[in-house]
């Protein structure tokens, strides 16, 4: 498939690399691989990316934005500050990670760390600050004064990130056969929030 459109070579190469990563389940993609998929010469990528690492960082940026869009879309269906909204954010995160395991490895590796150094506010949030806002709204409504929303959101993120990691490649199923990861996320989130709300 030729993804290249005049004036859009950079995006065509990012799409090509992302497709190859998705298909292979690995970030072991070369500049030549991306060039061939995009239908351009082997030298063409170097007009926009100095090397493979730069291309993979660009793929990470797109992946983080896709994650942010997924979590924001899921949370928009619920009133801010409700346990339902917080759970929806977690489920969207889990669904994204388990649906794109190769991107998970890439996003939370060295390439993702460098990609997060961008000035893009959307990229830097990746749904996290939507979670912070929801936690803050929950605390405000419950009149919880002694909890920092960023700290609480970080704990919730650690919860879903850890479950996502265990769910990848059926690791959770191998450790605890028959476990429904979404049900586990729901019960864990409710337990955590019940503890938070008990501080009213």
pTM metric for this prediction = 0.87
Which tens digit of pLDDT belongs to each residue from 75-115? 999 999 999 999 999 999 999 999 999 898 899 888 888 88
How large a percentage of the chain has pLDDT more than 70?
A: 92
For tokens 């990130």, the residue is: 161
**Does residue 34 carry a pLDDT above 80?**
yes
- C-alpha to C-alpha distance for 79 and 66, rounded to whole angstroms: 22
For 1-36, give one letter per residue: b (16+ CB within 10 A) or e.
Answer: eebbeeeebebbbbbbbbbbbeeeeebebebebbbe
The pLDDT value given to residue 11: 92
Task: Give the number of other Cβ atoms within 10 Å of residue 88's Cβ.
Answer: 19
**Does residue 6 carry a pLDDT above 50?**
no
- C-alpha to C-alpha distance for 43 and 32, rounded to whole angstroms: 8
**Does residue 124 carry a pLDDT above 70?**
no
Query: Within a 13 Å sphere around the CA of 70, how many CA atoms are in the beta-carbon half?
Result: 17
Helix (H, G, I), strand (E, B) or coil at 5: coil
Using CB atoms within 10 Å of the CB of residue 132, give its burial: 0 to 12 exposed, 13 to 18 middle, 19+ buried.
buried
The pLDDT value given to residue 1: 42
The pLDDT value given to residue 8: 87
**Does residue 138 carry a pLDDT above 50?**
yes
**Does residue 163 carry a pLDDT above 50?**
yes
The pLDDT value given to residue 198: 92
What average pLDDT score do residues 5-18 get? 84
Q: Specify the domain boundaries for CATH 1.10.10 within the chain.
A: 1-49
- C-alpha to C-alpha distance for 76 and 84, rounded to whole angstroms: 11
- C-alpha to C-alpha distance for 51 and 116, rounded to whole angstroms: 18
Tell me which of 1 and 39 has the higher pLDDT: 39
Q: What is the CATH number of domain 1-49?
A: 1.10.10
For residue 182, the 8-state DSSP code is H
Task: Identify the CATH class of 60-197.
Answer: mainly alpha
- C-alpha to C-alpha distance for 180 and 33, rounded to whole angstroms: 38
What average pLDDT score do residues 185-200 get? 94
Q: If pLDDT is split at 50, 70 and 90, which confidence band does 7 have?
A: low
**Which element (helix H / strand E) includes 60?**
helix 52-75
Q: What is the mean pLDDT of the chain?
A: 89
**Does residue 182 carry a pLDDT above 80?**
yes
Answer for the pair 93, 71: CB distance below 8 angstroms, yes or no: yes
The pLDDT value given to residue 126: 62
């Amino acid at each position: 498939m030729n993804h290249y459109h005049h004036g859009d070579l950079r995006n065509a190469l990012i799409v090509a690399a992302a497709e190859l990563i998705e298909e292979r389940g690995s970030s072991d993609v070369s500049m030549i691989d991306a060039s061939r998929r995009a239908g351009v010469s082997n030298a063409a990528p170097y007009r926009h990316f100095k090397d493979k690492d730069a291309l993979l960082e660009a793929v990470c940026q797109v992946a983080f934005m896709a994650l942010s869009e997924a979590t924001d879309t899921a949370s928009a269906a619920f009133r801010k500050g409700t346990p339902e909204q917080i759970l929806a954010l977690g489920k969207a995160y889990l669904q994204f990670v388990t649906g794109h395991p190769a991107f998970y490895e890439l996003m939370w590796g060295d390439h993702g760390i460098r990609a997060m150094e961008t000035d893009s506010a959307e990229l830097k949030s990746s749904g996290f600050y939507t979670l912070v806002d929801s936690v803050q709204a929950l605390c405000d409504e419950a009149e919880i004064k002694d909890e920092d929303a960023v700290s609480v959101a970080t704990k919730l993120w650690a919860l879903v990130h850890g479950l996502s990691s265990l769910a990848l490649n059926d690791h959770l199923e191998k450790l605890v056969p028959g476990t429904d990861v979404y049900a586990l996320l729901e019960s864990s989130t409710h337990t955590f929030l019940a503890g938070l709300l008990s501080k009213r």
